[in-house]
Structure 1
């Protein structure tokens, strides 16, 4: 295994998640691709609330046709970043992107980590740290990774390149036809993303 030196702390965290015999082949700390994203997974239908909507509910129902921020935000995302992923509700991309969304909620900042082993593609998130992460505890938190999801290695392929404002972009395609993209900032090396793409391409 050859892993970029800047990713070694994440290798430690990923290795702790693996059963005996499974080996890490590539690791990259990434950001979720910008732009339009896959549809969320199907949600269970909530039972109807009793007692009616009340005054506030009626007021919001009257106002809601005039609230269009969601569509405007989507249009801006598409204009600048294009498409960050596609997938039907419940597809691999849908499930993994939803896991990322849930992990991002709450206090602290969490890093996203992709890893390829000899058996799987794994998606994880580091423990939350403060905005100015520079203490020893924050450094240790980078190696404390929660597994958000995984897919068999044979069901994913990847390619690395530029797309719109993402100069260092990794696109991962899943066997069900869905896909997700990830990138790093301009200041960071694209080598870890290339290593992930190469490991998946090696089959």
Structure 2
């Protein structure tokens, strides 16, 4: 999809008088991420089956168990974020990667304005999408999370394992979350996000 289309759509989602300084399409980095915010409806699950979960993850990779998935992520990808349940990074990760009963793919867009950090999600996208599909996904783009710029303590792009294009967002509460782009794509949009948040 054309990056200008993203900028135009984000420009329609901001408040009157708010100016978009930078935007980037990115995904949460692979690896261990902060636990989700507490759910007031569901009691916390106990985790007695850690060893069994890890073994089942190895033997049955299509089956998922939370603790086993987290250990596999830690070993395979490292750490992509830290924070307590309910921290800024925890809430951001849940907003970007909510439970999806429909199983459809959506892109994540980061945007920095003169007031806030915005995180947007597109409508469902198809692997072999045509112009009409792209236009529909773009039209369904919405802001799923936003914080004032003062809540972002720092932003920087650097190396993580073999990927030189990983944006780390540190928040005022001490939590952090990383975003990446595929190796073949330019890291300039992520560097623009970091520069806009630092400036």
Question: TM above 0.5, one fold?
Answer: yes
Q: Report what 1:44 is aligned to.
A: 40
Q: Are residues 162 and 182 of structure 1, via their aligned partners in 2, closer, same or farther at CA, if it must alter by over 3 Å?
A: same
Structure 2: stretches of 5+ with no match in the other structure: 44-48, 58-64
2:168 matched to 1:168? no
CA apart distance, 1:104:
5.0
Give distance in 2, aligned partners of 1:77 and 1:19: 38
Question: What root-mean-square deviation, in Å, do the aligned CA atoms of Structure 1 and Structure 2 show?
Answer: 2.3
Deviation per CA, 1:48-93: give whole Å up to 9, x if none.
Answer: xxxxxxxxxxxxxxxx687413344322211231111111111111
1:13–1:144: 8 Å Cα contact kept in structure 2? no
* TM-score, with length taken from structure 2: 0.83
Give distance in 2, aligned partners of 1:95 and 1:119: 19
Match of 2:180 among 179, 183, 188: 183
Structure 1: stretches of 5+ with no match in the other structure: 48-63
Give distance in 1, aligned partners of 2:163 and 2:178: 10
Farther off after superposition, 70-79 or 105-114:
70-79
* TM-score, with length taken from structure 1: 0.81
Q: Are residues 198 and 6 of structure 1, via their aligned partners in 2, closer, same or farther at CA, if it must alter by over 3 Å?
A: farther
Q: Report what 1:200 is aligned to.
A: 197
Give distance in 2, aligned partners of 1:85 and 1:111: 19
SS in structure 1 of the partner of residue 98 of structure 2: helix
Give distance in 2, aligned partners of 1:162 and 1:183: 10
Give distance in 2, aligned partners of 1:143 and 1:190: 25
2:81–2:178: 8 Å Cα contact kept in structure 1? yes
Q: Are residues 29 and 103 of structure 1, via their aligned partners in 2, closer, same or farther at CA, if it must alter by over 3 Å?
A: farther
Deviation per CA, 1:152-199: give whole Å up to 9, x if none.
Answer: 112212000111143310000000000110000011100000000000
1:112–1:125: 8 Å Cα contact kept in structure 2? yes
Q: Are residues 66 and 169 of structure 1, via their aligned partners in 2, closer, same or farther at CA, if it must alter by over 3 Å?
A: closer
